[in-house]
Structure 1
Amino acid sequence: MQNEKQVHKRKIWIGEARALLPLLFIWGAEWIFSALVDIAIYWHDLDWLKQAALLTAVIASLVQLWSLRKDFRADGEGLKDQSGWGHPALLLLPGVMLIAAIALLEAIGAIGPLFAPVLRAFILAIGFVQIGLLLGRPLIYLGLWLFALSAVMGVWYLGYSAVILEGMGGISLIVSGYMLRVWGR
């Protein structure tokens, strides 16, 4: 009985957030592309390409959110809150806060360039575990795997952390988006 309630709540939460799932694919692709640029940077100066990919992901995210604005109206015609977690757009707030915190720490020089990818991967892993507590164990396992990978990369392979952690983080975002899409059916 308790498990049926959890499954029902999970379906409601995923249903409310279904419109936001493309953001996982957008940012997963950006992380993977950034990792590929990090590999190619050894042969050509492609730093501008990483900035272009980031800007493209931001614009694609804004376009996605703009196209959903009618669903997020508070006048009762849009998505209905059945989960008790508040307006579905609030699901983005923690992610936006984490991105802003990392950007600020990088801007003031609090994080060295070698440690920034490790921090981003740790935060993504923690996010997966947090969301997994609500939506299911596979996301918890994905977060724990990414956390362990980040720890190993941070301790023994720091020089390769940007390529590996951005690539694996991007793959994790895409996989989680796929899992949530399948679970929402």
Structure 2
Amino acid sequence: MIDFLRGQLVHIENEYIVLEVQGIGFRVFCPNPFVFGKAEGPVTVFTHHHVREDTMLLFGFPTQEEQRLFRKLIEVSGIGPRVALGILGGGSPEQVVSAIYQENISFLVKLPGIGKKTAQRMILDLKDKLDGFGGYELNTGLFAANETQPDDDSAWAEAREGLKALGYTDSELDKVWLKLKETTAAESVDVLMKRALQLLFAG
């Protein structure tokens, strides 16, 4: 199994990145490929190597925590790698774990590919398997102090720097942020970048 790759980022698409490792280009599908665009020099991508009779794919994540949660998600009946990728693209690991523990079905069904029955299975299968995950304490229902979710402004400041590194101007980003503030609650940097890029691509 390929657990991580370290190499030079050579291409970014909406669904995947291409990473060159010792002369070989690996296509790696990611929840938010553009989060890797702000990196300078070699990039480390934590991966899950998915092998079936008719396919062989690599899924990649910027942190081991996302990699671990992805692997937990695909253990749930009805959730394949593509759906798990959509879940992580639609919510931060902290938000997903919190929603599972709090049995917040209304949040889970808003994630791509998740209906009510699948949300119920996620809660049933994972609720007791996430203690300590990312600093989440099941006995309190809270994240540890150093794992608190970012507020809108601090998360956007980091996301904005990543988008500027991709070549977007201040005026373009100011317009996008006005739209995001109207429709987005507190989100992670990755989610904010993904939603901002969707708006930028849409014009």
TM-score, structure 1 as length reference: 0.25
**TM-score for both structures, normalised by structure 2:** 0.23
Which structure has the highest strand share of the two?
A: 2
The structure richer in helix per residue is: 1
